[in-house]
Structure 1
């Protein structure tokens, strides 16, 4: 019975290999299969020995093969999630129709939530319409993905036209709201919620012109040439006002429901704070402000 173990030649010391009782082709295939590593190097050596006819045959075999790989079906979910993070957010939803297995993987919360919520933080204001989808996680992910895709492709659900002739000094963005005033003889302010599309046009009393305008997450505030400060609460649709000397409106800011203005009166720096809810005004003087700072603020 022939042996498969190599035996040394006693005269030359060379090792001879006894081929088992089967075809040489089967032996070569099995030997290639059993190579533990560097199979590419072995394959390269074989290719270097091919004739033209053998290359032609090899090409016909390669052309009939597909080099595609089912990455969704063959890889762990963590790797699939990582791969799709480099693709457009709409891609997973489009590829859910490939097969039942792809649909099951690409619609699972473990896959969709990290992909879609990567654009969101817990502090973000919910999108308009999210509240009705909280009970359906897949519908919520689809809704958010639609907004992200439209943002990435510059295809918004809606848009706002801002006239060219605006006073850039009195144009403000705070949260979801934007405030603009006309550049020439402004007698109104335009306010819009960019998320919901709701608009307001707030006109001044007696067609008085606007000097300054500011915006907070609750109030649209403007001062007219009569030096009356008006505050419009766009949450409650209420308008209230207060009056101060002309010099006190050198600086104007607002936050939440509080309006603050300041100026130099008789060489001293005054700050007045007015609360929209209580309509109370508190004024205090900063005696420690140096002269050059006071002149800068004038």
Structure 2
């Protein structure tokens, strides 16, 4: 007979077939896997085996938005990625750095400044200034790029970075209407490219060396243009659109996917079309209904949908587009459109931010760090929150931001609504306020020391 001590020591997980053990492990958080490795030598060997870690590691890399499908990631590095995923999921940075604005920089409110971030480079500027600045977070060096708009009144619509290019899309008066001015700086050669397009800029997407811009007046009868930065050629898509809601660029497959959504229908109707990035010709199209899942049910005639980000966020084969829906009670609900190119599937997810809904048009822009994690800033309590896409939950983060970030925002009451720029990627989350910029670092292999005490300068001073 099996005695009581043997029953207590019976290892049910270790006794399972490997195939069943893998299925059980899939339900564990990466932190649980690391903790479970300490249970016993047998568990450590089991949970550290390639068969167990490979599937979980692949899921964590996808969740982080890391395109490592063609890279053989050593299993020995799995715990590092698990810890990275845990830190970004629960808002526990390895290090925080505060970068204050210089005195002359604070003369313009943060609503007049612009912030964008990509690949360890922070881009910032005053919208009325003639220069754009990029701070390299690895080296601490600052670069300056001249816009060259002169005295022409210009409305900056969006700025984006890639590994090589800096892109800015703006609107300028053209008679009684507007035109689109798109400027690209090649950061390797310092070359500047400028193109002017008819009509007002509505939406843009930027992946690798392809920039796609939709232009139109009043949100109807829009045109879509594809700008190949390598050849500096612009191709007009052979179609007319009614204010696209989302764009996805798949440069390796030479495909542009355009989504148009009729939000006024009880179940929104989507027109999806695919176009060649090279020729601008139609490849295929289809229509389908988009279920609005979640607890928010808003009658169609009370919906007011507006885009809050000019550039969509693309992670390899997946694009996330953030929209805001103004409700009849004066509050605002946030909506993510998520397109998976591999599965050719579009989904809508409500961002259920209890206590974080804001007045229409007075919102804190979110930072879509990865396909699964979006960071917000709760204005009323001045505390960050993270939205977890797989679980559809929003959690206030335990680590609060440096109080110097929000310093001075109270004095803007009556002149400007308190406004903060959120930005970042899977390595860094940042928030810019009246006092400066705070950066949170999550990647164990990227914790720079050169930025301590650095000032964010605007202008020609050094």
TM-score bracket for the superposition, by shorter chain length:
0.3 to 0.5
TM-score with structure 1 setting the length: 0.48
Select the structure that is richer in strand: 2
Of structures 1 and 2, the larger Rg is shown by 1
Select the structure that is richer in helix: 1
Name which structure has the greater RCO, CA cutoff 8 Å, separation 6+. Answer: 2
TM-score with structure 2 setting the length: 0.34
